[in-house]
Amino acid sequence: MKITRRQFLAGLSSSSVIVGSAISGASCSEQYESNDNVEIIRDVEYGDLDKQNLDFFLPRQGKKLIDENLTPVVMVIPSGAWIYSDKSSLEGYAFSLAEEGYAAATLNYRAVLDGYKWPAMIDDCKLALEWIINNGKDYSIDNGRIAALGPSAGAHLSLLLATMPETRGKMRSVASFYGPTDEKETFDNFKEKKVSTLNSKLPVSTLNSKLPFSHYINKIKISISGEESEKAVKNLKNAFMSNMILYFQEIVFGASSDENPEIYDSASPIYYLETASPGSKFPSMLLVHGMKDHVVNIGQIVNFENTARDLRVDVETLYLDDADHGFMEVSWYLDKNGIPGRVIENMMGDIWGYARESWDVTKDFLNRRL
């Protein structure tokens, strides 16, 4: 049954709405305030550098923090394609977790727009984890019951915490929403989709210009008519995407996967499964993924699942038949910008239903595995 926007927002939690910024790139203003159920403590510094800070969402009883028992904590790691991070972008999920009785910590981490390349992003997540372990009891947090979750790049970072030898023993569970697990495969998948520009009647060098891409599309439509115009536009778009992927690899990782395969291995959760010694222990994992994800190929996730099962990792999956990439974050963008849900649903399907089902499954997973 298709779920409406209203039903999804009502089901996320009794008083919170879903928020996210995967497709906006803009900083999201703070959405929530403390109430009788949740205490919010903002801008707690887990490191000395800019962006090394987090917000706590802590469960309350009346106006008193729960302090009789230590509370398990969930690190909520935002997406942003490693280009940016905004800890306010997933506040709805953090608030919902606090209402369920968990502590939640939404993270900022250094990214490309802050002037950093890989591995700054995972280094900050590891630093935040260590800070929570060492200081969590000041916030009534049980440092032996730590989980992480996030969408897309946030899922990727969560899975690295779950698989890297120096951190996996410190995690109890991890939930991934369409996170990449093999960085080389992720970018190779895009490269294989490119189309030759030989018939575009425009030199590839024009792609290096700073003129808007629409300029070239319009130029093609003016100079070429009919079916040839459509073919040329498609070719140019694919060439533009191919160049964009190479540029993206450079600004995030400093090199292409052909030039420096080692850095792509070190950024891939699958690598740490494949190189794990027999008997290695890993936290429980939940993998949520759309069967029609055009960014992270579903085969990549199935391979990760099978490899994890071979290592006797406790792994659960939710594969959504018609879902694409980004459904856990996109609803906040619709709300903020007043875009009717049907506009996005034409491209992404029943985003409210996918997000609602995924969140229900995630809460059940945490109840059993954290």
What pLDDT is stored for residue 245 in this prediction? 67
pLDDT at 109 over 90: yes
Mean local confidence (pLDDT), 11-32: 41
What pLDDT is stored for residue 294 in this prediction? 85
Residue range 126-173, pLDDT digits in tens: 999 999 999 999 999 999 999 999 999 999 999 999 999 999 999 999
Q: How far is CA 243 from the centre of its chain?
A: 23
What pLDDT is stored for residue 20 in this prediction? 33
| Cβ burial, residue 290 (10 Å; 0-12/13-18/19+) | buried
Residue range 227-250, pLDDT digits in tens: 555 665 555 555 555 556 677 788
pLDDT band at 123 (very low <50, low <70, confident <90, very high): very high
Which region among 29-38, 97-106, 163-172, 328-337 has the lowest average model confidence (pLDDT)?
Answer: 328-337
pLDDT band at 332 (very low <50, low <70, confident <90, very high): low
Q: Looking up tokens 């190779």, which residue turns up? A: 188
Q: What share of the chain is helix, strand, coil (3-state, %, to 5)?
A: 45, 15, 40
Q: Which structure tokens are listed for 370? A: 């954290």
pLDDT band at 311 (very low <50, low <70, confident <90, very high): very high
Q: What is the CATH code for 5-182+268-369?
A: 3.40.50.1820
Residue range 256-303, pLDDT digits in tens: 888 999 999 999 999 999 999 988 999 999 999 999 888 899 999 999
d(Cα 292, Cα 307) in Å, to the nearest integer? 22
- What phi and psi, each to the nearest 5 degrees, are found at residue 211? -65, 145
pLDDT at 359 over 60: yes
d(Cα 147, Cα 144) in Å, to the nearest integer? 10
Task: Give me the sign of the Cα torsion angle 334, 336, 215, 239.
Answer: negative
Select the more confidently predicted residue: 262 or 218. Answer: 262
What pLDDT is stored for residue 229 in this prediction? 55
Residue range 172-205, pLDDT digits in tens: 999 999 999 999 888 777 655 543 333 333 333 3
Q: Which structure tokens are listed for 66? A: 């729960």
pLDDT band at 3 (very low <50, low <70, confident <90, very high): very low
What pLDDT is stored for residue 69 in this prediction? 78
| Cβ burial, residue 362 (10 Å; 0-12/13-18/19+) | buried
Q: Which structure tokens are listed for 276? A: 């794990």
CB 350 within 8 A of CB 3: yes
Mean local confidence (pLDDT), 94-121: 94
d(Cα 90, Cα 22) in Å, to the nearest integer? 10
Q: Looking up tokens 């995967």, which residue turns up? A: 22
What pLDDT is stored for residue 186 in this prediction? 83
Domain ranges of the chain: 5-182+268-369, 188-253
pLDDT at 351 over 70: yes
CB 127 within 8 A of CB 105: no
Could you give the maximum distance between any two Cα atoms of the chain, in Å?
Answer: 74
Which residues, 6+ apart, have CB-to-CB distance to 286 below 8 Å? 173, 174, 175, 176, 315, 316, 317, 318, 361, 362, 365, 369
Mean local confidence (pLDDT), 112-132: 96
* β-pair type (173-177, 141-151): parallel
CB 105 within 8 A of CB 128: yes
pLDDT at 322 over 50: yes
Which residues, 6+ apart, have CB-to-CB distance to 240 below 8 Å? 207, 213
CA atoms within 13 A on the CB side of 170: 22
Task: Give me the sign of the Cα torsion angle 268, 270, 273, 274.
Answer: negative
What pLDDT is stored for residue 278 in this prediction? 85
Residue ranges of E strands in 121-277: 141-151, 173-177
User: What length does the chain have?
Assistant: 370
- What phi and psi, each to the nearest 5 degrees, are found at residue 21? -145, 25
Residue range 74-107, pLDDT digits in tens: 999 999 889 989 998 898 899 999 999 999 999 9
